[in-house]
Amino acid sequence: MSFLDRLNSYRAEEEALRWKGTFAQYLEIVRENPDVVKTAHARIYDMIASEGIETDADGNHHYLFFEREMYGLSATLERLVEEYFHAAARRTDVRKRILLLMGPVSGGKSTIVTMLKRGLERYSRTPSGAVYAIADCPMHEEPLHLIPQELRSEFEAEYGVRIEGNLCPSCRMRLDEEFGGRIEQVPIERVLLSEERRVGIGTFSPSDPKSQDIADLTGSIDFSTITEYGSESDPRAYRFDGELNKANRGLMEFQEMLKCDEKFLWHLLSLTQEGNFKAGRFALISADEMIVAHTNEAEYRAFVANKKNEALQSRMIVMPVPYNLRVDDEVKIYEKLVQQSDLKHVHIAPHALRTAAIFSILTRLKESKKQGVDLLKKLYLYNGQTVEGMKEADVKELRTEFPDEGMSGLDPRYIINRISTALIRRDTQCINALDVLRAIKDGLDQHPSISAEDRERLLNFVAMARREYDEMAKTEVQKAFVYSFEESAKTLLDNYLDNVEAYCNWQKLKDPLTGEEIDPDEKLMRSIEEQIGISENAKRAFREEILIRISTYARRGRRFDYHSHERLREAIEKKLFADLKDVVKITTSSKTPNETQLKKINEVTARLIDEHGYCSSCANELLRYTGSLLNR
The pLDDT score that the predictor gives to residue 517 is 84
CATH class of 3-320: alpha beta
Nearest residue to 117 (alpha-carbon basis) of 256, 319, 292, 271: 292
Length of the chain: 632
Inform me whether the pLDDT recorded for 429 exceeds 90: no
Q: How many whole angstroms separate alpha carbon 191 and alpha carbon 434?
A: 54
The single-letter DSSP state of residue 194 is: B
Cα dihedral 118, 119, 125, 131 sign = negative
pLDDT digits (tens, 9 = 90+) for 119-159: 999 999 999 999 999 999 999 999 999 999 999 999 999 99
Beta pairing, strands 20-22 & 187-191: antiparallel
For 337-342, what is the mean pLDDT? 84
Q: How far is CA 343 from CA 77, 331, 352, in A?
A: 31, 17, 15
Asked if 128 and 35 count as a contact pair (C-beta separation under 8 A), the reply is: yes
So what's the pLDDT on residue 123? Answer: 96
What pLDDT is recorded for position 211? 62
Q: Can you say whether the dihedral through the CA atoms of 401, 406, 410, 412 is positive or negative?
A: positive
Greatest Cα pair distance in the chain: 113
State the DSSP H helix or E strand holding residue 11, giving kind and residue range, or none if neither. Answer: helix 3-17
Q: Which of 467, 471, 474 is nearest to 362 (CA)?
A: 467
Q: What is the pLDDT of residue 483?
A: 65
User: Cα(38)–Cα(413) distance, rounded to whole angstroms?
Assistant: 38
List where CATH 3.40.50.300 sits in the chain. 3-320
Bigger pLDDT: 262 or 118?
A: 118
Per-residue pLDDT for 77 more than 70? yes
Confidence tier at 397 by pLDDT (50, 70, 90):
confident
Would you tell me the crossing angle of helices 566-589 and 485-504 to the nearest 10 degrees? Answer: 140
Average pLDDT value for the chain:
87
Q: Which pLDDT band, with edges at 50, 70 and 90, does 346 fall under?
A: confident
Query: Between 125 and 601, whose confidence is greater?
Result: 125
Looking at 10-24, 372-386, 528-542, 594-608, which range is the least confident one? 594-608
Residue 350 — very low, low, confident or very high, per pLDDT cuts 50/70/90? Answer: very high
Whether the CB-CB separation of 235 and 281 falls below 8 Å is answered with no
Percent of the chain beyond pLDDT 70? 95
Question: How far from 525 is each of 121, 388, 485, 499, 573, CA to CA, in Å?
Answer: 62, 19, 20, 7, 14
- Of 113-122, 173-182, 218-227, the poorest mean pLDDT is in 218-227
Q: Burial code of 110-132, b = ≥16 C-beta within 10 A, e = fewer?
A: eebbebbbebbbebbbeeebbbb
Whole-angstrom distance, CA of residue 357 vs CA of residue 72: 12
Q: Are 238 and 222 in contact (CB under 8 A)?
A: yes
**What's the pLDDT score for residue 588?**
65
Q: In angstroms, rounded to a whole number, what is the distance separating the alpha carbons of residues 482 and 577?
A: 8
Q: From CA 403, how far away is CA 395, in angstroms rounded?
A: 14
Kindly report, residue by residue over 270-293, the tens digit of the pLDDT. Answer: 788 788 888 878 888 889 999 999
